[in-house]
Amino acid sequence: MKLTPIEQWIMQKTGMKERNRKALYAWQLEKIKGTIAYAKENSIFYGEKLEGVEERSIYTLESFQDIPFTFPRDIGRNPLDFLCVPQKKVARIVTLRTSGTSGEDKRIFFTEEDLDLTVDFFKYGMSCLTDERDKVLVLLPGSAYGSIGDLLKKALALSHIECIVHGVLSDPEKAARCIEEMGITCIVGIPIQVLCLSRVKSGVFRNNIKKVLLSTDYVPDAIINELTQKFGCKVFNHYGMTEMGYGGGVECEALSGYHMREGDIYFEIVDPDTGKVVENGQYGEVVFTTLTRQAMPLIRYRTGDIASFSASDCACGTFLNTMKKVLGRIENRIPLGENRFLHLRELDEIILPFEEILDYKAYLKDGYKFVLELTAENDAAFDRVKGRVMREMEDLLSNQPGCRPDVAVIPAAECAPVIINSMIKRKIIDCRKER
């Protein structure tokens, strides 16, 4: 099994001579100190928040854990307070919509150098699954300068790999024609969109696609299993978010978790309640600190994502940490009585194995009444699965008195363009809170 190319990238980037975590941690510690000094001097937010912090007092990564967290709401209040460069040096601004008021929208800033760092990581990350024989179709936004599709295309060009940035999936027929005409062998896309394409155009998918990289949202096991077993694809997972500069970590050929972008970012896993760092193998909230960012460095930023570092070494033989697959967001759950929650990932594993279903939405209404809107190819397909989905939901909720799901269908012709052409992360919609 091939060693992850991410290790080679980190060795080159850090100038490390030794292949061990101790040397990497020492390098990261120095970069953390530099980031703190830089952010205090140039950012209004960190100048105030870290006013009493002395970089020389951070002797170890353990002492770094005393530094206060940065929260998404901090960025939402005033993104410009995080900016460390003159606005004329900003090459790209990304606005992240939130479920709150318009004033809570986050804006993330990048310089040209920041974007180049992402291209560099993508080059090595994509080499985990592609080579010059591949042709890659990107089902992600790519028309704007510095968008994720644009950066992926630039990264693949450095490896002499042809890349077509198709954009988010809105027309499966058009995407299928592109796959056939261009000889596409690899797809990069949003999990639910790739699944939809594989089900609507299964013949084209089976005959052409050998590798898939899923990104931007939680990846259900049901999707991985179907793409692997039905189509013979090798399915890789990528973890990242805009605040990280899009790229965070990617799986190697072992397909047992992400090797992280540790040359640009320092990662921690903390207990969501106490904020204390947990042991490897224990699940908690992903926290990161940028090490090389110019426009908008982030220090101990709480992502809201749940994951864990593996307690064992990766089969590829790297000394790098391996992060197990992210289980979704802490907030992507709804309470069902005392100490019981329903997670979106539970619904995914129940609903998505039904091949008639292309997508779904879930609502919780007053009295623990569930409504599932299933997107099927047609009414006949919906009728075939409605009863089985109902029974699965009843089994899942059997321990919660009063919880009975209702299933409503919206014909695919009406809702598919809206649902498929979306970059918004999926969630259970709790209507009880919105009344």
pLDDT of the residue at 376: 86
pLDDT of the residue at 408: 59
pLDDT of the residue at 412: 44
pLDDT of the residue at 431: 79
Dist. CA 325–CA 283, nearest whole Å? 11
pLDDT of the residue at 421: 37
Residue boundaries of the structural domains of the chain: 1-328, 333-434
Dist. CA 93–CA 89, nearest whole Å? 11
Low-confidence stretches of the chain (pLDDT beneath 50): 100-103, 411-423, 435
Architecture of domain 333-434: 2-Layer Sandwich (3.30)
Fold that domain 1-328 belongs to in CATH = Rossmann fold (3.40.50)
pLDDT of the residue at 368: 64
pLDDT of the residue at 428: 82
pLDDT of the residue at 404: 59
pLDDT of the residue at 23: 96
pLDDT of the residue at 435: 45
Dist. CA 368–CA 428, nearest whole Å? 13
Per-residue pLDDT tens digits for 117-149: 999 999 999 999 999 999 999 999 998 999 999
* Cβ(195)–Cβ(184) below 8 Å: no
H-helix or E-strand spanning residue 268: strand 265-270
